[in-house]
Structures are given as structure tokens and as C-alpha cells.
Amino acid sequence: MVNVIVLIKDIVDLTEIKVDPRTQRPILAGLPRKISDVDKRAVEAAVQLKEKHGGKVAVLSLGDDKTRTALREALAMGCDEAYLLKDPAFEGSDTLATSRILAAAIRKIGEYDLILCGEMTLDSLSAQVGPRVAELLGLPQLTYVRSLDLKEGRVVAERDLEEEDEVVEAPMPAVVTVVREINEPRIPSLMSIMRASRKKIEEWDREALGLSEGEVGSAGSAVEILEVRAPKMERKKMIIEAETPEEAAERLVEKLMEEGVLR
Amino acid sequence: MNGSSFRGVMVYSENPSLLLELLAAGRGLADKLGAPLSAVLIGGEVGGERREEAIRHGADRVYVLENPRLADFNVETYKAALLRVVEAEPPEVLLIGGTKRGKELAPRVAAALETGCMTDCISLEVDEEGRLVGRRLTYGGSTVAEEVCLRKPQMATIPPRVYERPEPAERRGEVVALEVEVPEPRVRVVERKEKRRAGFRIEDAPVIVAGGRGIKKREDLKLLEELAEVLGARVGCTRPLAADYHWLEEWIGLSGHKVKPDLYIACGISGTIQHVAGIRDAKVIVAINSDEEAPIFNIADYGIVGDLYKVVPALTKALKEKLGK
């Protein structure tokens, strides 16, 4: 039997982002949202552990009313309980405040053997929430995990590092962050989607989690985002003028020789 | 920890060569702040040459933490060691090398210190108010965010090869050894194995010829293959050609492979930000497109406005002559 809590974030669909040509800022408003790809694989990994060893999976997300769609999807994939952490005071939370909120909710749920999440969400790319939650809860952390199992009451995982792979084991409870390669998430059946739509989503606000105003949102954060723009690329932007394709090709080859990129 | 007791810039990486790059980043910030730069060395035993090396590459002070339990990297024991130094000499700025290990260590340290950390900064500077401002990629690499850390120590991780290793010089520096109590690690390594390299990866290709929706049918990829052969290049494509048409298995871009060749030749590629996110580290980008308004020309070094069906074969021919192949 294993009790798993999986942390997910619903993020804007990155394939839909366009840049405003005038301001060079990304247009994010009104974009559809979905579970961040790596987090979805954490859900799949949690459900697979439950199917193999028994137990239950709770899914947890900090968000707004739209986040219910993501939580429903996780329920349809096989999670048993869903918690939405929602409060206007949570807005503007960076990883410091977000981890505090998640850790408070995990403490409130109380019973768990494993906490799972993606190594990072693809919108912020900060890769901090897993290790921060582990620190706040005083738990061991197993990061970049690409295969996961339980053995004699311990968690065993294969980690994907730069130059090597590492097989590690740790006592539970523990925090595990997974990489994209861990699995292919299932597509829930119509039946499970129907069943999931009848499940209750528990909602907790700041007070329910026993957090002060200074601990959450912008007030409880340390990193402020000043600006988000399309990357400036320092490029030559030289258009090769020529009468014919042959002439253009020859001039380009000369330029590439000068650049020293031909061999 | 608060107040004005924070002073100086401190850098740490378990990767010796990245540590030297961090010293380059740290030196600039320390000079701006008029504060000392220190490097942290953690291990079972840290050789004298590594201390000297850190000083020669810019450190004013080197903290050495040695303990048999620190022989191998473990995030909990290394966290304890790093916190020990930070408590002894709280820095204004703490930079950690952005390897995978560094990026699991930094947030854990940041959480313990209740401060912020900016992941994978591609540039760092100190603003007029003395605050650490970092620029980093967000939204899968399609945008750059400028962020500021408002609590101290102000933390950031820096990936490898963002800063160049400084020129070594004969300098004076101080070495400080610190005792540290190291907890028994809870995560145990059962096995370490070398990565299995799955053949040749497009990430390692020095030259890439890539096609986009300007390619009308699958057979026409032959034009790109012929060009690639003369260049010793690999053929790649944008997402629609792989994900929608299944002409190739993998694509380059935000959701696919991120490449950094010396030369990237984009043929019939319009240049969506999703694709550009995958090629921003290319040294030279060439764009061939019949639409002179295509955004790809704004991020290319050399552009040819023309029909790829004529330009690509002409380029293949010109290269054959020039390279004598």
C-alpha cells in the first residue's frame, strides 16, 4: 500500500504563444491551459505505483477556478482525491511562496509516503518546487527520476544525470521529481472521465492552510519578474541581394567561408 | 537572517570547471558591489591545487569544507556544508553552478534560507540599488524574463558555458577551513552507470539543414539531403513536418530538440517563436524563404529571399565546387 500526493500545475499551452510584434512581449492572455507535460507524467507514475502496490493518490494544485479542468483530468487518469489551493492572496507567488503553500497543504492532508511532481514546469522552467517542498517538510529528495518502484518499504529510482545514470534508494516518505522519459501518460477512457466528473474537488484557501498573509503571494515571495519579452537575437540579418539563385548561392558560400563554419 | 550583515559574493559548483566560470561572473558582480569574492570547495578531501586554482581565477577567499561524508555529492550533506559557510559569512549574492546536481541543491538551500533563487541565468548584473537582476529563459525557451531577487542572500544558478573561464593570474587569497557536522545521508546510491549513448544525436551535429512548411512534399526532402551531404550535415525539420505529416521522426524547436550547431540552414521555415526557441544557440543561421516578410529573416545572419526549390540546389552546386567534393 502506498499513499502518493502528486503536485501539478496547469500552464498556458506553449505551442499557442505568439509575440506582439510591436511590444515584443508574448501574448499570454486568453490562451488555453493544460497540465504541464512533465507534471502529467508524475500523475501517470503515481497512478502506476497505486495500481501495482495498492493505496491511493491525491492530486494537488495551486491555481484558480480554471485549474479544476486539470484536476478533473488527473482524477480521470486514476487519482482518487483532488485538492485545489485557491485564494486571491496566493497571486504573484514565486517558488518560495508556492512551496510554502504546497507544503502546508501536504501537512494538512497528513498521510503520505511519496510526493511526486515534474522536475520543472515548462512555463517558469525554475525546477525548484520539488526540492523546496522536500526541504520544508524535512524529507529526502530523489530528483530527475526516470524509473521508479518500491522495494521493502523503500523507494528505488533511476536518476537521469548529465554524464551518468544513478540508481538510488531512500526511506519513505520522500519527494520524487520525474523527467519526461519516465512514461507516456495514459489517455483516460470516457468511463473514467464520467466517473471523475462526479468526484468532489476539495478547496482550501489561505486560512484553511493556516498561513499568514505575509507568507504567500507577492508579500511572501523573494523573486519579482520585471519583464518578459521575446528573446533578442543578436544576428547580422544580412539579406543577400543577387540576380539569380546561382549568384545568391555563390555569395552565401563566400560569407560562410569568412565565418569559418564550412569544413 | 536579515539586516545588513550580508556581504560579498560567494560561488559554488561541484563541477571544477564550472566553478571557474562562476568566478568570472562573481568577480564582475563583486567589483560592482565593492565587496569580496569567495569560492566554496566541498569534498572528502580537497587538494591544495584546487584552492590555488580558485584564487588564481579570481577568488579573494576560499572556504574549504572537508569531511569523509562529503566524498560523494549528496544533496542533503552538501546542503549542510553550504549552509555552514553561509551562516559563517553570509553573502549578499550566492551563485551556484547550474548542473543538474547544482539545480537540485540550490532550491533546497534557498528554501532553508527562505530566500529566492533565479534558475539558469544567462546574464546577471547589479542594478543601481545594488539588487541582483538576472535574465533567464521562460515559457519553454520562447521568452526571456528579467527577474530581481529581493531577499538575501540573493541566489542564482548559472548554466555551463554562459561565462568564459577567466585568465588565471598570480593573486593573493585567503584559505579558510571550516568544520562541518554532516548528517547521515538518507538517499543511498546503489549503482552508478555511464550514460548509454543512443547513437548520434542531432544536438551534437555541427551543421544542420532544416526544412519547414515551404517543402511541398516528402520526396522533396531529397534536396535538403543533397545539401546536407556536401556539408557533412544532418537534416532536421520543424514540428509540422514531423508531428503532423510524419515525414521525419523528430523535430527541432520548443517541444522537440534544442540544437546549437555552428551552421543552421533554415529552408522554407517561417520562424515561429516555438521553432526559434530550438535554434537560438546556433552560431550562424541562414534562412532561405520566398516570403520576404517571414520572421525567420529577423533572426538569421544571412538571408536569401527566393524559391528554395531553386536556391537549395544552387547552393549545393556552389558548395560542391568550392569545397571540391
pLDDT single digits (tens) B31-46 = 999 999 999 999 999 9
pLDDT score of A117: 98
The 3-state secondary structure of B17-50, one letter per residue: HHHHHHHHHHHHHHHHHCCCEEEEEEECCCCHHH
The pLDDT > 90 percentage for chain B reads: 82
Distance CA B159, CA B285 (A): 23
Say if residue B107 is preceded by a cis peptide, omega within 30 of 0.
no
Low-confidence residues in chain A, pLDDT < 50: none
> In chain B, what are the domains?
9-177 (3.40.50.620), 202-323 (3.40.50.1220)
pLDDT score of A15: 81
Question: Which positions in chain A touch B104 (Cβ < 8 Å)?
Answer: 131, 141, 143-144
pLDDT score of B174: 96
- Full strand arrangement of the beta sheet holding A55-62: A201-204, A81-85, A55-62, A2-8, A114-118, A174-178, A141-151, A154-160, A164-171, B188-194
pLDDT digits 0-9 by tens, B76-132 = 999 999 999 999 999 999 999 999 999 999 999 999 999 999 999 999 999 999 999
A140 and B255 within 8 Å at the Cβ level: the answer is no
Out of B111, B195, B262, the one facing A136 most closely (by C-beta) is B111
Residue of B263, B255, B273 lying closest to B302 (CA atoms): B263
Interface contact A29, partner B, CB < 8 A: no
B149 neighbors B121 (Cβ within 8 angstroms): no
Question: Which positions in chain B touch A127 (Cβ < 8 Å)?
Answer: 103, 107, 119
What is the chain A residue with the closest CA to B77?
A140
Distance CA A104, CA A106 (A): 5
Beta bridge partners of A61: A8, A84
pLDDT score of A197: 94
User: For the residues B159-178, what does the mean pLDDT come to?
Assistant: 93
Interface contact A31, partner B, CB < 8 A: no
pLDDT surpasses 60 at B270: yes
Contacts of B100 (CB under 8 A, 6+ apart): A143, A144, A161, A162
Per domain, the residue ranges of chain A are 2-220, 233-263
Query: Where in chain B does DSSP place strands (E)?
Result: 9-12, 37-43, 61-66, 93-97, 117-118, 121-126, 132-138, 143-149, 154-158, 174-177, 188-194, 207-211, 234-237, 263-267, 284-289, 302-305
pLDDT score of A7: 98
Contacts of B219 (CB under 8 A, 6+ apart): none
Query: How confident is the prediction for chain B on average, in pLDDT?
Result: 93
Q: Model confidence at B11, in pLDDT bands (50, 70, 90)?
A: very high
The 3-state secondary structure of B43-78, one letter per residue: ECCCCHHHHHHHHHCCCCEEEEEECHHHCCCCHHHH
pLDDT surpasses 50 at B286: yes
pLDDT surpasses 50 at B323: yes
Out of A128, A142, A226, the one facing B187 most closely (by C-beta) is A142
Out of A127, A135, A235, the one facing B300 most closely (by C-beta) is A235
Listed ranges A19-23, A53-57, B201-205, B272-276; the one with the highest mean pLDDT: A53-57
User: For the residues B191-199, what does the mean pLDDT come to?
Assistant: 74
Interface contact A222, partner B, CB < 8 A: yes
- Strand pairing report for A164-171 and B188-194: antiparallel
Interface contact A219, partner B, CB < 8 A: no
B318 and A259 within 8 Å at the Cβ level: the answer is no
C-alpha cell at B17: 570547471
Class of domain A2-220: alpha beta
Distance CA A160, CA B256 (A): 18
Indicate the DSSP class of residue B252. B
C-alpha cell at A24: 515584443
Residue of A111, A85, A82, A59 lying closest to A207 (CA atoms): A85
This prediction has a pTM of 0.86
A133 neighbors A25 (Cβ within 8 angstroms): no
Distance CA A120, CA A129 (A): 8
pLDDT score of A194: 96
Distance CA B161, CA B20 (A): 11
User: For the residues B152-173, what does the mean pLDDT come to?
Assistant: 93
Minimal CA separation from B170 to chain A, in Å: 33
Amino acid letter at B161?
R
Interface contact A165, partner B, CB < 8 A: yes
Distance CA B120, CA B265 (A): 28
pLDDT digits 0-9 by tens, A37-62 = 999 999 999 999 999 999 999 999 99
pLDDT surpasses 80 at B156: yes
pLDDT score of B325: 60
Integer angstrom CA distances of residue B112 from A124, B156, B273: 21, 15, 37
pLDDT surpasses 70 at B199: no
B303 and A166 within 8 Å at the Cβ level: the answer is no
User: For the residues B313-325, what does the mean pLDDT come to?
Assistant: 90
Beta bridge partners of B9: B37, B93
pLDDT score of B166: 93
B302 neighbors B295 (Cβ within 8 angstroms): no
Which region among A98-102, B172-176, B219-223, B243-247 has the lowest average model confidence (pLDDT)?
B243-247
Distance CA B107, CA B157 (A): 9
Minimal CA separation from B175 to chain A, in Å: 30
What is the chain B residue with the closest CA to A162?
B100
pLDDT score of B258: 87
Complex ipTM value? 0.91
Chain B interface, best mutation among A13, A33, A235, A241, by max B CB count within 10 A: A235
Phi, psi of B291 (to 5 degrees): -95, 110
